[in-house]
């Protein structure tokens, strides 16, 4: 049975190019991970796991959330999110709030210190990226941003199909 993502008429050249892109994406993800780890170490993450900052990012961008929703969004186990969010709470970056819809539950929300740490980290990342791209023409930088946005949108649109496809594998 053909993959639901597979389009009629995809030829070998297109698949070869997709393979080249895949290799570059893996290389890119490794370099970004290595760089992020190095930057976090240099900034002194106060003992908070690097992965825990993904929780902070989601809370800042999507608002206060239950642990279960964060686990779903981050494709992680609730126990992992609970452990990481506890570390964020201990460091004053996240706080627990009563859930207005269910008083028995709590929401996680960023604190003012969490927002400050996030913005500082974002500033460092932006300075680093600006330095990496400093000798690129402005049009190339804009094109890269536009193409990454387009790629991310395509990945987001096709992710549920990929997940459904892999369930039967």
Q: pLDDT per residue over 17-55, tens digit each?
A: 999 999 999 999 899 888 877 766 554 455 677 778 889
Q: Locate tokens 């201990």: which residue? A: 90
Q: Is residue 23 part of a domain?
A: no
User: Is there a single domain that holds both residue 144 and residue 131?
Assistant: no
User: Is there a single domain that holds both residue 58 and residue 128?
Assistant: yes
User: Is there a single domain that holds both residue 96 and residue 84?
Assistant: yes
Q: Locate tokens 């686990």: which residue? A: 71
CATH of the domain at 85: 1.10.10.10
User: Is there a single domain that holds both residue 121 and residue 152?
Assistant: no
Q: Is residue 22 part of a domain?
A: no
Which of 32-36, 105-109, 144-148, 158-162 is predicted least confidently? Answer: 158-162
Q: Is residue 21 part of a domain?
A: no
User: Is there a single domain that holds both residue 74 and residue 108?
Assistant: yes
Q: Is residue 169 part of a domain?
A: yes
Structural domains counted in the chain: 2
Residue 167, pLDDT above cutoff 70: no
Which of 9-18, 49-58, 142-151 is predicted least confidently? Answer: 49-58
Which of 36-40, 128-132, 162-166 is predicted least confidently? Answer: 162-166
Q: Is residue 32 part of a domain?
A: no
Half-sphere exposure of 24 (CA within 13 A, CB side): 6
User: Is there a single domain that holds both residue 128 and residue 82?
Assistant: yes
Q: Is residue 5 part of a domain?
A: no
- Residue 166: pLDDT band with limits 50, 70, 90: very low
User: Is there a single domain that holds both residue 131 and residue 81?
Assistant: yes
Per-residue pLDDT tens over the stretch 58-92: 999 999 999 999 999 888 999 999 999 999 999 99
> Which tokens is 54 given?
């993904």
Q: Give the burial string for 45-71 (b: 16+ CB within 10 Å, else e).
A: beebeeebbbbbebbbeeebbbbeebb
- Residue 6: pLDDT band with limits 50, 70, 90: low
Residues in the chain: 169
The domain in which residue 87 lies consists of: 37-135
Q: Is residue 44 part of a domain?
A: yes
Q: Average model confidence (pLDDT) for the chain?
A: 84
The pLDDT value recorded for residue 162 is 42
């Amino acid at each position: 049975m053909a993959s639901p993502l597979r389009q009629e008429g995809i030829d070998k050249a297109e698949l070869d190019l997709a393979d080249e892109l895949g290799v570059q994406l893996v290389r890119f993800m490794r370099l970004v991970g290595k760089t992020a780890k190095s930057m976090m170490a240099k900034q002194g993450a106060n003992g908070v796991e690097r992965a825990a900052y993904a929780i902070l990012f989601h809370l800042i961008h999507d608002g206060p959330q239950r642990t279960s929703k964060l686990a779903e969004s981050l494709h992680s186990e609730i126990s992992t999110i609970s452990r990481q969010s506890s570390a964020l709470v201990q460091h004053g970056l996240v706080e627990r709030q009563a859930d207005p819809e269910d008083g028995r539950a709590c929401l996680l929300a960023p604190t003012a210190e969490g927002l400050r740490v996030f913005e500082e980290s974002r500033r460092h990342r932006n300075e680093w990226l600006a330095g990496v791209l400093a000798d690129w023409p402005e049009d190339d930088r804009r094109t890269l941003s536009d193409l990454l946005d387009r790629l991310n949108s395509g990945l987001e649109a096709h992710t549920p199909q990929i997940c459904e496809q892999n369930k039967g594998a």
